[in-house]
Structure 1
Amino acid sequence: MSRPLRIVFMGTPDFAVPTLRAIHDSGHTVVAVVTQPDRPKGRGRKLTPPPVKKAALDYDVPILQPETVRTDEFHTQLAELKPDLFVVVAFGQILPQSLLVIPTQGAINVHASLLPRHRGAAPIQWAIIKGDAQTGVTTMMMDKGMDTGDILLMRKTAIESDDTAASLHDRLSLMGARLLIDTLNELQGGTLTPTPQAHDQATYASMLKKKDGEIDWSLPAEQIERLIRGLTPWPGAYTFSDGVRLKIFKASVLDREVSITPGTIIECFPGELRVATGKNALAIQEIQGKSGKRLPIDDFLCGCRLPDGTCLGSTKKLR
């Protein structure tokens, strides 16, 4: 039987936690955990550790939190650990080639897409926004590029019609942990066959910003509905009414032809909010307004009247 691998784990957000736990439980040796520094969060700006650090505190393992990995000191720290392998999951910093050559068996990344589609920072969100029928997780050997290394293993899952970025995140997080263990098993068994990516088929999932959530009502209802799901819970899809930001969490597409200005609230039954779009209409089902509470639309409309003919997307926008 092969000896346990000496692994340096690198990751930061919740997505990476199941993989760290899976490696620890598999019998391999986590010789260090590398994660981002604690950051101020919330209204009180309290210094908060990243989720991976919180998880790593359960284990007797060194935790490294470099502001940048591109220092001689950090390079020396990792080299002294004599790792067999780096495992990297949503770490948040690009590793230079000088680090990638430290482990004797290289560095493996777990990425939340079916590479080469959706390379980059936000693959889960963009898979929904773009209307992909399926997505998945990929393990790959890391090189100096952005998610460009050879593919090791891949697992697929359908994107359901009610999937949000949150639900897909949780499913792919667990899939990624299992896939990484399968990858380690095949690595030790000598059965891994790295496959170069088809670079000419690559697409990029750019990092999302709050401004990306503003709804363009001239788009088809189907596209807006995907945007809402893809941006839930963050950064959130939103529009405006008289300068007040309305954050939309759930909506459905109505196969109804409309011939009025996109963004206009159309006649509907009490307790419903239907909005004209560039193609068909959208029925808003969950929304957040001034109160800061996420509400079913009928509860929201009890305290905030939006009459037929109101046009959403006011030019008096809050930033």
Structure 2
Amino acid sequence: MRILFMGTPDFAVPCLDALIENGYEVVAVVTQPDRPKGRKGELTPPPVKVAALRHNLPVLQPEKVRAEEALQELEAFNADLLVTAAYGQILPKRLLDMPRLGCINVHASLLPRWRGGAPIHRSILEGDANSGVTIMRMVQALDAGDMISQVVVPIAEADTVSSLHDKLAAAGSKLLIETLPSIANGTHTETPQDESLVTYSPNLSRDDERIDWSRDARTLYNQVRGLNAWPVAFTTFSHKVMKIWQARINEEESAPTAEPGTVVKTTDDSIIVQCGKGTLALLEIQPAGKRRMLVTEYLRGVKPAPGSKFGDREE
């Protein structure tokens, strides 16, 4: 079975590695173009390109996969199956119709929940108990194809986007290898998604990152871990942006008469902040213009007084 693989970020790398390790013939890898990255803007290859070159595979990086030149190049590979995992471009019908066995996608959610581009973030932000991976038939509508296989991955209380991402990437690669034989021999089943259960996970905005202290402590805790390690939740203190990398729901201290965002107290390793309901203990932060640090270190130089406020206006 000749497989054309399309993917771009770290999430897709275990799938590509698993295909090679299990003896599948990957005829080529399609990924996004190299992009400038970092303060110096150095051109950086996507993780899937790095993995493909490690396996000595042909790599294509069309700016637009729907361009005629790109489609002709992909047609020439005469692939039996196209496998995608977080590729990052919408595929045209002509490409979806090319492979003999069609096109499948490895999606990081339990479809039909969390169609779209940020399913891992949204599952934690919304306090889901479980996430998972769905392998589905690709259609032109966004993540709307019939489901072929699915695996549930529980979300631990301490999971962040980073840790859940890694769990899902591993689960997705395993599920892909388990699913491919039935696709190859035609014994797989395809189940339509229940449209009444569809939810969407749009890409994150600046508003998703900003902490609203009027919300309850559980919601803000989910926000902090649901945005770690990217793009990271933030608030303001002394009119300057402060990123919040790690926090916990504080079970002990609360000042229900204090306004949301008010510092209730500091401890050796935390700053306790009043929320709309309950309090949040800040454990790891990144003040404006500085590196991330544990609150223990921050408090050696700055000690917010009880009654001072987070969430003031930026300068």
TM-score range, shorter chain: over 0.9
Asked whether the 8 Å contact 1:165–1:231 carries over to 2, the reply is yes
Asked whether the 8 Å contact 1:209–1:235 carries over to 2, the reply is no
Asked whether the 8 Å contact 1:66–1:74 carries over to 2, the reply is yes
- Output the CA distance in 2 between the equivalents of 1:6 and 1:121: 28
1:1-319 to structure 2, matched below 5 A, reads 5-255=1-251, 256=254, 258-290=256-288, 292-317=290-315
- Output the CA distance in 1 between the equivalents of 2:106 and 2:246: 30
CA offset at residue 301 of structure 1? 1.0
- Output the CA distance in 1 between the equivalents of 2:67 and 2:266: 61
SS at match of 2:27: strand
Asked whether the 8 Å contact 1:117–1:201 carries over to 2, the reply is yes
CA offset at residue 185 of structure 1? 1.7
Q: Percent identity?
A: 46
CA offset at residue 271 of structure 1? 4.4
| Amino acid in structure 1 at the alignment position of 2:121 | Q
- Output the CA distance in 1 between the equivalents of 2:169 and 2:294: 29
Asked whether the 8 Å contact 2:101–2:183 carries over to 1, the reply is no
- Structure 1 residues not aligned, in runs of 5+: none
CA deviations over 1:25-61 (Å, ceiling 9, x no partner): 1111111100000000011100010000001101232
CA offset at residue 80 of structure 1? 1.1
Asked whether the 8 Å contact 1:152–1:194 carries over to 2, the reply is yes
CA offset at residue 253 of structure 1? 1.2
After TM superposition, the structure 1 stretch with the greater mean CA deviation from structure 2, 129-138 or 298-307, is 298-307
CA offset at residue 223 of structure 1? 0.1
SS at match of 2:261: coil
Asked whether the 8 Å contact 2:269–2:294 carries over to 1, the reply is no
CA offset at residue 211 of structure 1? 4.2
Asked whether the 8 Å contact 1:258–1:281 carries over to 2, the reply is no
- Output the CA distance in 1 between the equivalents of 2:271 and 2:142: 43
CA offset at residue 259 of structure 1? 1.9
Aligned-residue Cα RMSD (Å) equals 1.3
Asked whether the 8 Å contact 2:80–2:99 carries over to 1, the reply is yes
TM-score, scaled to structure 2: 0.96
CA deviations over 1:209-238 (Å, ceiling 9, x no partner): 344211000000100000000000011011
Q: How many residue pairs get matched?
A: 313
Asked whether the 8 Å contact 1:139–1:152 carries over to 2, the reply is yes
SS at match of 1:166: helix
After TM superposition, the structure 1 stretch with the greater mean CA deviation from structure 2, 260-269 or 235-244, is 260-269
Asked whether the 8 Å contact 2:266–2:304 carries over to 1, the reply is no
SS at match of 2:54: coil
